[in-house]
Structure 1
Amino acid sequence: MSAFLELLPGLRLEPLPARLPRPDRPMDPADEAATRFGGIAATAVHPFEVAAAIEAEGVTDRQVQRHYGRQDAFELAEDLYADTPRHYPEPEPVPSPWTAPLSASLLRGVLYALPGLAFPLGAPLFAGPADTGRLPHGTFALALSVLLTWAWNQALAHRAHSWLGRGQRRSAGRCLARGAAVGSGLGAGGALLAALLAERASGGVLVFCLGQALYLGASCVLLVLGGEAALLRALSPAALGGAAVLAGLLRPSPVTALLLVCTLGLTALQAWRLLRACRDDGDRGSAGDPKPPLRSSLPHGFFGMAMSLLTLGAALRGGHIEVAPTVALTVSMGPAEWLLYGYRSRIHAALRAAQSARGFALLSARSLALGLGSYLGALAALGGVVGVALTGGPSGQQLPGLLALGATIWTALLLQATGSAWTAAGVCIPAAAATVAGATESLVGGVAAATLLLIACRTLGRVTVHR
């Protein structure tokens, strides 16, 4: 034996260990399943998602029974989902589609208020005996004309935006052209009806109401189609002339009333140009696509009627016209629009950040409170500034009613923008009727605002509303 070993000089013999090492023990089936599918289970939102991943790996029910001791992939998925802590990765930031520059919203607020400067220029047209309730001559004719035109234009704007959202700009232009003509006729007919019923409105009042109805129709076209800059240029003659009359630099006369005709002509011209551009743009999509249903625009018309009644109720108080709160409320519609975009942008981020339904509801309520509080702060500041400019000082008695009305309008606009137009109209129409009937403005506005706020917190706290 030793001679044989000498023939292998490179061979070294090691002593045998006392115990041979045992082979690795097989992994526990539960640990193996957690290792293989734990990453999927940690990010899943339902056991079915884990089951789909197991089946996608080619694991059959027989293999699940043999290796993991479960009946099928669904039972294994349920156990994994229950035993694995949730760990959702942070979503990648996505730019919000709900963005709008503050300057554009402020410009729209100014455009809503500037037509008010036409009234000093048109003062000679309103000469005559006072209406019932000691209101200025022609107030009822003007109010009914505004009421009908405002309601019609709200529905018209919604329907035109429905066409634009489908990429059918030519159809939107055709809708606006026909709708603006009908709305102008409604406004003129409302003024004529009020004149016939009251037997007080003069021919000058009817002429002014006709011009106002035509202007509102043309301005609706410009605002829907993005012609804010053109509308600002068209308003310049009447705005500058009205400001000069208020400053005492001019006296209203039939000659200064020509500035109103100039503004009306420029507005109609700019609207016609945009409508002609829509006709040249054409439509995208199939010609057989269904039209937007008319009933979808109906609540927006009712909502516009309610808003006009609330605004008119706030303006016509105590036998005279309250100019300051009306101007402040009108100008505030610009910041209101921007804050509505802000709410939608924060909700877009909350949809990705919230990890539970309750968490999203809290984020929605916080965003709602931030938007409403910011708007009321802006409205209070505007009320003070406008009060100082027009009456020499802010009126503390008007502020509670103004803020209550503002809260009602902003919350209703938010509900309308998120698909609850019927709800907004259903709350605002009774509030408007109570205001016209003579109920206290702060009480009516407070009740309506509280009701809308409760509805908004409950409705907008659901994820499905925002998708």
Structure 2
Amino acid sequence: MTDTVPLRLVDPVDALATKVSDRCGLAIDPLQIAAMLESDGMTDRMATQDYGYKDVFALAEDIYRRIPHRGPGEPLPRPDRIQALRELSHGLLYTMPSAVFPAVAFLLGARNTITGMVYATAFGWVWTMGWTSVAYRMTGHGRTDLAAKVLRRSLLFGVTLPSLVGIPFLSPGAWALAVAQLAFQLAGGILLFHRREPVLFALSAPAVGVGLGFLFGGGTRPLAVAAVAAAGACVLLVCVFAVLQVVRVPAVKEPAIRIRAEVPRALPVIGYAALSALYLLSADARLDQPRLDLALAVTPIVLGMGVLEWRARRFGERSLGLLRRTRYPAEFRRRVLRAFAVDLVVAVGTLACLALVLAAFLYGHGQLSRLGAASLAGHVLLGGAYFTGFLLINQARFGRLLGVLGCVVAGYLGAVAYLGPDRQVPVFGACSALLVFGLVIGLLPDLGQVWRYASY
């Protein structure tokens, strides 16, 4: 007679709970565990067939009850100051090319300059955001070689296609400006993607210096020609460095991913960029408006864009930190809403300070009108909308983002068409206020949902 060993059956849910406990010990809501399970490939069908639950959420609730909770975790590492400085420099880098435009306008005329700028900005804004989002997805999958391929194609086709399209209806001067601006914008975007802000600054600084020399050196034709020549050399060098950045990437074979499969996911980003460009350019690209204060009203939002990017990233990091120090969902919601309010005030306050400095300068030179002050205020509000939009993008809430933005843009264009161009500035200010209000209302329901944050 032989002894028999009793068979011990292991509860599959216990086994799964043990497997995920290290990652879920800091969870404060079952929905966080459900999000983690779904990211690992768990489906409702698997939850039913393998574990006997009606869906992933029911399974996650049981796992939440079974795993030991470690309480508040260790604080996240200190913020990367170098990364913060890089992001803060973006506003300056975005503004630097404008130092050359007065010299360009001196040679080409204001109408040709504005036409070329608007054409290049509209196309480059949409094109860059769309393809950069695809490149970031490739990088997230570990395929840096495919990200480089995406950026190479973006630069090549992003310059050639609009160049060919613009030949029939752009004057030679406007066409040349548009091509140069597109090349600089796309190549500069590649350098920013690879965190080469110092390189872009060093390559742009000489042209900026010559452009400022034209402004403060009497505005003569030789200085204008020198500024444009320096700008052309800058564009060429930036393109060379950008190409070198994306051709020296080693090939990676795994995981197997097709670029074409990721393109549809970039469509919401492209839609957001298109609506944003339409709204801002329709407000600022006034071919018949010679006033300096209206022309410079966009400066605070461009110069402060780095602050908006920095605060949006830090909000995400602080939200994760709050999850590690919070025990209850209600507490997390209160604290994250307070953090959002602080960041929104900082973002809008920074732009307001920049606008006040510009307004004081214009007022001191007798160039500030009521319309100019109203336009500055409208752009400050638009900056608050951009910041809130960044957070909606980070949480993939494109439906609300595009819905609110689309309604505001349609309302703005319709109101200007009905009331006339003389009412354009106050309508822009009112619509910008509605935009930031609508986006905040669209964001608030999601801010306190802990499952939207990767806490493990």
SS at match of 1:230: helix
Alignment of 1:51-450 (within 5 A): 90-96=71-77, 99=80, 101-127=83-109, 136-189=111-164, 191-192=166-167, 196=169, 201-248=170-217, 251-252=220-221, 253-278=224-249, 281-283=250-252, 286-289=254-257, 291=259, 293-316=262-285, 319-320=289-290, 322-389=294-361, 392=364, 396-437=373-414, 438=416, 440-450=427-437
Distance 2:197 2:164 in 1: 28
* CA deviation string 1:179-201 (max 9, x = no partner): 121222344345446xx2xxxx5
Deviation at 1:153, TM superposition (A): 0.6
* CA deviation string 1:309-344 (max 9, x = no partner): 232234235724623221111011111111112211
Cα distance change on mapping 1:427 and 1:360 into 2, 3 Å: same
Distance 2:28 2:152 in 1: 50
Distance 1:435 1:340 in 2: 27
Cα distance change on mapping 1:109 and 1:137 into 2, 3 Å: same
Q: Which amino acid aligns with 1:442?
A: G
Q: Which amino acid aligns with 1:114?
A: M
Contact 2:301/2:380 (CA < 8 Å) preserved in 1? Answer: no
Distance 1:173 1:46 in 2: 39
Moved more, 380-389 or 361-370: 380-389
Distance 2:325 2:267 in 1: 36
Deviation at 1:209, TM superposition (A): 1.0
Q: Who is 2:45 aligned against?
A: none
Distance 1:139 1:455 in 2: 35
Deviation at 1:392, TM superposition (A): 3.5
Deviation at 1:412, TM superposition (A): 0.7
SS at match of 1:319: coil
Moved more, 285-294 or 100-109: 285-294
Identity %: 20
TM-score of the aligned structures, taking structure 1 as reference length = 0.72
Distance 1:315 1:139 in 2: 10
Contact 2:323/2:332 (CA < 8 Å) preserved in 1? Answer: yes
Deviation at 1:368, TM superposition (A): 1.1
SS at match of 1:340: helix
Q: Which amino acid aligns with 1:347?
A: S
Unaligned runs of 5+ in 1: 1-42, 48-77, 82-86, 131-135
Contact 1:188/1:210 (CA < 8 Å) preserved in 2? Answer: yes
SS at match of 2:430: helix
SS at match of 1:150: helix
Deviation at 1:429, TM superposition (A): 3.1
Cα distance change on mapping 1:433 and 1:181 into 2, 3 Å: farther
SS at match of 1:355: coil
Distance 2:28 2:234 in 1: 60
TM-score of the aligned structures, taking structure 2 as reference length = 0.74
Q: Who is 2:12 aligned against?
A: none
Cα distance change on mapping 1:358 and 1:90 into 2, 3 Å: closer
Cα distance change on mapping 1:295 and 1:45 into 2, 3 Å: closer
Contact 2:143/2:255 (CA < 8 Å) preserved in 1? Answer: no
Q: Which amino acid aligns with 2:244?
A: R
Distance 1:250 1:319 in 2: 21
Cα distance change on mapping 1:246 and 1:160 into 2, 3 Å: same
Q: How many residues align?
A: 372
Contact 1:413/1:424 (CA < 8 Å) preserved in 2? Answer: no
Q: Which amino acid aligns with 1:346?
A: R
Q: Which amino acid aligns with 1:443?
A: A
Distance 1:45 1:219 in 2: 42
Cα distance change on mapping 1:152 and 1:429 into 2, 3 Å: farther
Deviation at 1:138, TM superposition (A): 4.8
Q: Who is 1:23 aligned against?
A: none
Distance 1:98 1:189 in 2: 45
Deviation at 1:364, TM superposition (A): 2.0
Distance 2:156 2:364 in 1: 41
* CA deviation string 1:98-149 (max 9, x = no partner): 755432122111111111112122124422xx7xxxxx34534431332122
Segments ≥4 residues shifted beyond 6 Å? 43-47
Contact 1:309/1:436 (CA < 8 Å) preserved in 2? Answer: no
Deviation at 1:390, TM superposition (A): 5.5
Deviation at 1:375, TM superposition (A): 0.5
Cα distance change on mapping 1:137 and 1:95 into 2, 3 Å: same
Cα distance change on mapping 1:240 and 1:448 into 2, 3 Å: same
Please provide the CA RMSD for this pair.
Answer: 2.9
Unaligned runs of 5+ in 2: 1-25, 31-61, 417-423
SS at match of 1:226: coil
Q: Which amino acid aligns with 2:438?
A: T
Distance 1:345 1:402 in 2: 27
Point out the structure with the larger helix share: 2
Deviation at 1:442, TM superposition (A): 1.5
Contact 1:145/1:186 (CA < 8 Å) preserved in 2? Answer: no
Distance 1:364 1:45 in 2: 14
SS at match of 2:74: coil
Alignment of 1:16-55 (within 5 A): none
